[in-house]
Chain A
Amino acid sequence: MKRLLPLAAALVLIPTAPVHAQLFGGDTEARNQVFQLRQEVQGQIETTSRGQLELAMQNEQMRAELARLRGQIELLTNEVETLKQRQKDFYVDLDARLRRFESGAAGNASAAPASGDAAPAAPAAATAPPQAPAPAPAPASANTESADYQGALALLKNGKHKDAQTAFERFVARYPNGNFTAGAHFWAGNSALQARDVASANRHFKTVIDKYPKENVAPDAMLGLANSQQAMNDAAGARRTLQSLLERYPQSNAAQVARQRLNAR
């Protein structure tokens, strides 16, 4: 079969040659030019095609790269959502622990200043101290910041209200822009209220409300402010604060407490 191939080729080629010769009247130059032109065009088409193939392959590589990036975004988005949820869980956990400690403290501090509203009830309603002890390893500076915060919280927990207030005030001076600063002001206010330093309590709660209105502790700080106003016998001011709390953070747990108190009066 292979042997037949050249023969067949010859058969096809032989008659064509004279036809060409007749057509072009033996003008070999023109014929060569056409042939040359055809070669050139053919070459150009092939080059273009190769270029297109190369582009297509590059396109595929880019598509794969884009997909990988998309995958990374999907992973990161999921991670952020998971972390948010975890942070929330930590808040709830810390809140539950503080609630336990505060109910104990309230028992001890029977001579607490505020009227029937029992000041400690305010922080007890807190949904969220701003940061929780993270079990994951954090950078060294964050570690000391967290440790200082923990130390101050421990003082408060042990009923050393004056010391806790001092510790939180030292904390906010040392970390004016730290991760726990809003929380430290909030707890400093609560410690001060317990230690009957109502003016300081007032100041700390106002700092939280003015500087950190978006922090989770802000609604509770308003509740704290109402408490200290009450302790200063400023019933009208306390009432205004509670109403403003309802307007600003209607969905918060603190607002629920405020609603109850306003209705009780």
Chain B
Amino acid sequence: MIKTLHAFRPLHAFRLFLAGLLASLALGAHAQLSIEITGTGASRFPVIIPIFENEGRLPQSVTDVVRADLERSGLFTLIDTGPLPMPESVPPDLAAVRGRGADAVLTGSLIPMADGRYDVRFRLFDAHKQQELGAMSLPMSPAQNRLVGHRIADFVYEKLTGLPGYFATRIAYVIKSGPNFELQVADADGMNAATALRSREPIISPSWSPDGQRLAYVSFEQKKPIVYVHTLATGQRRVVANFKGSNSAPSWSPDGSQLAVVLTKDGQSQLYAIGADGSGVRRLAQSSGIDTEPFWGADGHIYFTSDRGGSPQIYRIPAGGGSAQRVSFEGNYNVSPRLSFDGKLLAFITRNAGRFQVAVQDVATRQTTILTDSARDESPSFAPNGRMILYATDTGGRGVLSAVSTDGRIRQRLTVQAADVREPAWGPQIR
């Protein structure tokens, strides 16, 4: 659940009135992201996901969600077997499954429970090895069809690819519509979008807490950049950094207790760590140039952008202090570093012949690959399994979100009707 807030200047009657007026005109939570697949993997798993037994009793389908998730991932081809369910309790005819050209099949049933809920039971089979890959059961109320569908898709994805799925995660992003800004949170498939904050001033740099319950971000509602931490369920907000000058670029520590932020209270933009409650500021690095865009990696390093070498490049420092080490060497504009959750890949934006594109570096070998061919990419962020990178880009002068797999093969585009979408951040995997 997300509570929507309206940002306004305290005690300012005019603004309060205007904010209320404009909020009523502003686009509502009905604005959905629609996702379009623009590229797929080279080899895709052919799978059969038949309708579950008793699924017809639900107002909204579960297996439709599973199929859409798998299809959208670009790693699966769905083979349609018509409207006949394959109950979880009956061993499937795997020879027939192979005959349809499928490598795997999911059987499932909904067992009604006394409290009106259902027990969703399902099994996954490998048609070639002729063996069961796993089984699970999830209780659900009829309204939870999407969440349960995402969880089942995660299960299938993990069993067949060996990587955790990312369908039951959330994304945050900012929509600009005329003079209005909205910080929204949606499911990874773009559905269930809800507005966390409305403002007439810009909102940038949302960053998810590791527990997925809070967002840190920068809001200009007080006419200058200030860092807030916002608890999504309650709508409670807390100013964590409002020092003289600019306060920006929050990034959570892996344990969720601290934030790396950029402050200008002592001069130029420099890196600091601050408690998630705004307490105990401590300086992380010192340079004679601009240091910004910290990303607190799970490898114990803080990656950041600095122009100490005459052009913006990516450096890293140990989170506990130490000397900075340069990480990017190609080109004269490398910004917005983000480390994958396993610490193996570094995504960033590079300027390549005047175009800003998403690049990924293998941290161990320093091998760097440019993944996109667009010109105005910004704000990359990894899916929790490290396989996809979500980023903001531009088509026809309008901001859209795109996702690309780390091998560059799978591409998706997420758009909102008649609005600019920007500043995406992919939330963590909550288990």
Contacts and interface: CB of A to CB of B under 8 A. Distances in A.
B313 interface: yes
11 contacts: A67-B288, A68-B309, A70-B308, A71-B308, A71-B311, A72-B310, A74-B309, A74-B313, A74-B326, A75-B329, A78-B326
A71 B329 CA distance: 10
Contacts of A66: 288
Interface string B293-311: 0000000000000011111
B289 interface: yes
Contacts of B307: 67
B329 A70 contact: no
Interface string B307-345: 111110100000000000010010000000000000000
B288 A64 contact: no
Range, interface on chain B: 10 to 19
Contacts of A86: none
A75 B329 CA distance: 7
A75 B311 CA distance: 12
- Which A-B residue pairs are the 10 nearest by beta carbons? A71-B309, A68-B310, A71-B310, A67-B310, A74-B326, A70-B309, A74-B309, A78-B329, A67-B289, A67-B308
Most buried by A among B308, B310, B326: B310
Range, interface on chain A: 10 to 19
Q: Is the interface of B mostly helix, strand, loop or mixed?
A: loop
B236 to A, nearest CB: 42
Nearest to B306: A67
A87 to B, nearest CB: 17
Contacts of A78: 326, 329
B380 to A, nearest CB: 23
A63 interface: yes
A177 B310 CA distance: 40
Nearest to A71: B309
Given A78-B326, A78-B329, A71 B313 contact: yes
Interface in B323-372: 326, 329
Nearest to A68: B310
Most buried by B among A63, A67, A69, A72: A67
A78 B307 CA distance: 17
Contacts of A64: 310
A67 B326 contact: no
Contacts of B309: 67-68, 70-72, 74
Contacts of B310: 64, 67-72
Contacts of B313: 71, 74
Interface string A62-96: 01101111111011001000000000000000000
A20 to B, nearest CB: 43
Given A70-B308, A70-B309, A63 B326 contact: no
B10 to A, nearest CB: 32
Interface string A133-160: 0000000000000000000000000000
A193 to B, nearest CB: 40
Given A70-B308, A71-B311, A63 B329 contact: no
A85 to B, nearest CB: 10
A75 B313 CA distance: 11
Contacts of A71: 308-311, 313
